[in-house]
Structure 1
Amino acid sequence: MPCVTYSSPHTFSNALSPAQAAVASACLGIITSKDGDALRARLMANILHWRQRLDQGGLQTYGAPLPIVCVPMGSERLARHCPTISPFLLSI
């Protein structure tokens, strides 16, 4: 019976560096602390505020309240002008 493999021939793995492990450990410490609760609450308040301001400015937002807010631009041409639109977005 022939051997059948479904994995990529380019599969590899790397261990975390000590610095990456330290950062991950510190993040987990913050997430599980009371400070983490306060930071998440502040983040959600900022997200809701930003979405509300976008809505007030006439821009539609999609999806659930998350740190990344999807704002459809309507067309690729318009989306390419985002760098010139950004000051407007920041002013609303």
Structure 2
Amino acid sequence: MNIEVLIARLGNSYNARRLIPFLTERGLLIPDLARHTDPHQAGVARLRRRIPAHLLPEVDVWIAVLRGEGRRPSRPFPWKTVNNYLG
């Protein structure tokens, strides 16, 4: 649901234009990750759930390396590429 609608439900004394920046500046507004997640990253998460449990640790390391988070820093592959490789 839209944040402005949720704020409006609080009552007439709340102004969304002022409240949203106020909460954001103080780190109190939690972003909706479902709306901001890369669709290819979500695809990797879906494919990952289908992998047998005994293989997950190795697959997670492989994904981390592809994303540039291995022991040696490297250029991260885009989520689209990781999704295609995993598929």
TM-score (norm 1): 0.23
Structure with the largest fraction of helix: 2
TM-score (norm 2): 0.24
